[in-house]
């Protein structure tokens, strides 16, 4: 089966510019996650979707970050405007359901804000 697909792989932008990341989860996976991974750290959850509903966005900085998962499949994560501290790897993951199903991660988008 195809894995979780993310694009772009790399993105370099100047601060205050907008940026968007795209994720296509594994077919049939209802739960989709966006994580942020800073250098030398573990992934930290930003938002979790169950189908098209955001069921946990408590860690999403809502003043500049937004996400959507239209039709309960693909998802986009947007930052506007980006700040220097947003430089990180943004990982998308999906799982079958919430019953402790394994998470499958995409390759991530490495964002550099200059």
Partner 1 sequence: GENVEQHPSTLSVQEGDSAVIKCTYSDSASNYFPWYKQELGKRPQLIIDIRSNVGEKKDQRIAVTLNKTAKHFSLHITETQPEDSAVYFCAANAPYGGSQGNLIFGKGTKLSVKP
Dig out the tokens for 70 from the structure.
């239209």
Residues at the contact surface with partner 1, assessed by CB under 8 A = 4, 31, 33, 40-45, 48, 55-56, 58, 91, 98-100, 102-108
Closer residue to partner 1 (CB): 14 or 44: 44
Q: How many CB atoms lie within 10 A of CB 8?
A: 12
Closer residue to partner 1 (CB): 65 or 90: 90
Q: How far is the CB of 3 from partner 1 (least distance, A)?
A: 8
Closer residue to partner 1 (CB): 84 or 98: 98
Q: How far is the CB of 65 from partner 1 (least distance, A)?
A: 17
Closer residue to partner 1 (CB): 51 or 80: 51
Q: How far is the CB of 41 from partner 1 (least distance, A)?
A: 6
Dig out the tokens for 85 from the structure.
């501290």
Q: How far is the CB of 39 from partner 1 (least distance, A)?
A: 11
DSSP assignments along 69-87, one per residue: -GGGS-EEEEESS--GGG-
- Alpha-carbon span 27 to 60, nearest angstrom: 25
Sort 89 into a burial class: Cβ within 10 Å, 0-12 / 13-18 / 19+. middle
């Amino acid at each position: 089966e195809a894995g979780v697909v993310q694009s772009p792989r790399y993105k370099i932008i100047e601060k205050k510019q907008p940026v968007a990341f795209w994720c296509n989860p594994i077919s049939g996976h209802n739960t989709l996650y966006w994580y942020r991974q800073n250098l030398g750290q573990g992934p930290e959850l930003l938002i979790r979707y169950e189908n098209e509903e955001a069921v946990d966005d408590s860690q999403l900085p809502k003043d500049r970050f937004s996400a959507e998962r239209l039709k309960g499949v693909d998802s986009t994560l947007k930052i506007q405007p980006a700040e220097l501290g947003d430089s990180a790897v943004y990982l998308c993951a999906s799982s079958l359901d919430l019953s402790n199903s394994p998470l499958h991660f995409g390759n991530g988008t490495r964002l550099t804000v200059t």
